Structure 1
Amino acid sequence: MSSQSRPRPRYAYLGPTGTFTEAALRQVVSPEEAQYLPQVDVVSAIEAVRTGAADRAVVAIESSVEGGVTAVLDTLASGSALTIQREVLVPVSFTLVARAGTDLGAVGRISAHPHAWAQCRRWLAANLPGVVHVPATSNTAPAALLAGPDEGLPFDAALVPPPAVDHYGLHVLAGHVADNERAVTRFVVVGPPGDQPARTGADKTTLMVHLPSNQAGALLEMLEQFATRGVNLSRIESRPIGDALGRYSFSIDAEGHLEDERVAEALMGLHRVCPHVRFMGSYPRVDAPAGQVRPGTHDADFLAARRWVQDLRTGAAH
């Protein structure tokens, strides 16, 4: 089949047009090379891959301000297995917009995605004390509503990404309203299970792990599987399992690749002591350089130790 007749891959993402997720998707593949499938929320984007309606999904997984995106972490941790294949970073900033003719002093209700609201709290408290938050499903959903017919919207203004201003033809009330000018969001490309991206030497492995028990020392026992193999954790967050109070799983980003001996040994240790371990992918990392590999935990060290034990079993070494 020629490249011209081959169907374009389908990518589900949080829409509508102009979201930070679309900006992340454009870093992965252009709209000329793929079919963009906007979704109403991140769960729908992930489920589109599970049902076969999309080949891949691009979803936000971590904010430098708010931490993990719990809806994404929980959806990937349950249901049929999917794997993370790539990550990208998108700088995040916000503009306060409204319909033409609206003054800042007349704003009493602002529509915003919860993460956008969280990243603008201090500015809002200083400039619009007492303003009411109207939650939105995405960062550009309220922009699309403001650009539509005036049908008595339940809000006066919205917090949106700067590119949405021109796209939807909105009136700017205030720019640069985010509290942290260096805020970024990490997005991941999610697809069906299969071959992992090749090891690069600066990789990340994402897991969801249940504790081996609810007794004292259970968390330490789980963490020791990484520490004793020299595997550094760049992120660890607890999430409720949901079947009873006090029972938690842990969403983990570990430095390294499944093909690294230290990471493989850590996964085997987790498999031995923890009741549930979900592997969510090994992929190149982009957020920071890899940490130093501790002496004695390089691939050559594990392989040499394994050969030594094998020689002991055969009598070739003492």
Structure 2
Amino acid sequence: MSVPRYAYLGPAGTFTEAALRQVVSPDEAQYLPQADVVSAIEAVRADRADFAVVAIESTAEGGVTATLDALAVGEPLVLLREVLVPVGFTLVAAPGIALEDVQRVSAHPHAWVQCRRWLAAHLPDAVHVPATSNTAPAALVAEQLASGERIPLGFDAALVPPPAVAHYGLPVLAEHVADNEHAVTRFVVVGRPGHVPAPTGADKTTLDVHLPSNEAGALLEMLEQFAARGVNLSRIESRPIGDALGRYSFSLDAEGHIADERMGEVLVGLHRVCPHVRFLGSYPRADDVRTVVRRGTSDDEFVAARAWLANLRAGRTH
């Protein structure tokens, strides 16, 4: 029997691979490393992969815009699960390079942001050399080590995940260089529509929504759909639609599941007042924090209210 195929941001040793290993072991799936997040998502759309594991949010920068934008357009995909990965960085270099020699540091843009205070204090004149992933520069340093030659790399040192140090056998210049020792990145499993994970009581629903108009109060009109049903938002971010200046969509994480009566009522309300609503999945929360149900918004209370209305419409006043 064939095993499921998972696309992810490679090469080996990335935080995304660490997230993928929480989902499924390499003995039970085919790992398909990709050059970037968009390529991983498009691999699912093109049927080159069954699932993709991609970063969607970090404690350092909030939403991962490449992921949010790729999910907002194109063939619809859904989120099936989320996992959390602690994030830290180590500064590595080829043999013979000391910390005082470093002038150019290769790093993924998110890594650079998460280490900028440390870099400003210890390497204030260093120039950022962007990398496609957190381990792409590690692979280049390892290639140089294996060749025994000083192959031009375009950088002097690199910020890499701690697991990549042992994986690639890299010389370390400095450890624990991240500014926030409690940093975490949230990753999601992306798949094709057709299966919604069952509600657990500790769930999230992710949506992409366009405002009903560009007039005063339009954002409030959209947000009222959640507030009136007692649905809390754990994340809301604006992203440009791209067709004109000043036109934005909103990427949202709402606490609850599409199977919940209150969440269903939210989606009905959004569909009535907003020109575009893309459902991106309901799935269990990685932290297992149960949704707080406000008085008057439980499933039983919604069902009872509809039954009461049906009685009124049928001429019964009790």
Q: TM-score, normalised by structure 1?
A: 0.97
Gaps of 5+ in 1: 1-5
Determine helix, strand or coil for the equivalent of 2:176: coil
2 CA distance for matches of 1:184 and 1:38?
22
Q: Which residue of 1 aligns with 2:156?
A: 156
SS at match of 2:125: coil
Deviation at 1:288, TM superposition (A): 6.0
How far does residue 316 in structure 1 lie from its aligned partner after superposition?
Answer: 2.9
Q: Which amino acid aligns with 1:140?
A: T
In structure 1, distance between residues paired with 2:287 and 2:209: 23
Q: Please, which of 112, 118, 127 is the counterpart of residue 113 of structure 2?
A: 118
**Structure 1 residue aligned with 2:51:** 56
**Residue identity opposite 1:249 in structure 2:** S
Q: Distance in 2 between matches of 1:310 and 1:270?
A: 23
Show CA shifts across 1:131-154 (max 9, x none). 100000000000001111332111
Distance 2:82 2:191 in 1: 12
TM superposition score normalised by structure 2: 0.97
Write out the 4+ residue segments of structure 1 that deviate beyond 2 Å after TM superposition: none
| Aligned residues with identical type, % of pairs | 75
The question of 1:231 aligning with 2:216 is answered: no
Q: Secondary structure at the match of 1:148?
A: helix
Q: Give 1:66's aligned residue.
A: 61
Report the counterpart of residue 82 of structure 2 in structure 1. Answer: 87
Distance 1:317 1:34 in 2: 59
Alpha-carbon distance in 1 for matches of 2:75, 2:17: 25
* In 2: Cα distance, 1:29 partner to 1:153 partner: 34
Give the deviation of 1:314 after TM superposition. 1.3
Alignment of 1:274-293 (within 5 A): 274-287=274-287, 289-293=289-293
Instruction: Provide the aligned length of Structure 1 versus Structure 2.
Output: 313
Choose which of 11, 25, 28 in structure 1 pairs with 2:6: 11
Match of 1:176 in 2: 176
Between the aligned partners of 1:252 and 1:287, the Cα distance in structure 2 is: 18
Q: Secondary structure at the match of 2:28?
A: coil
RMSD (Å), alpha carbons: 0.8
Letter in 1 for 2:271: H
Deviations 1:68-126 (A, max 9, x none): 00000000000000000000000000000001111000000000000000000000000
Measure, in 2, the Cα distance between the counterparts of 1:171 and 1:75: 36
Whole-Å Cα distance in 1 between the matches of residues 125 and 99 of structure 2?
13
The DSSP-based 3-state class of the residue aligned with 1:229 is: coil
Worse-matched range after superposition: 163-172 or 265-274: 163-172
Residue number in structure 1 paired with 2:147: none
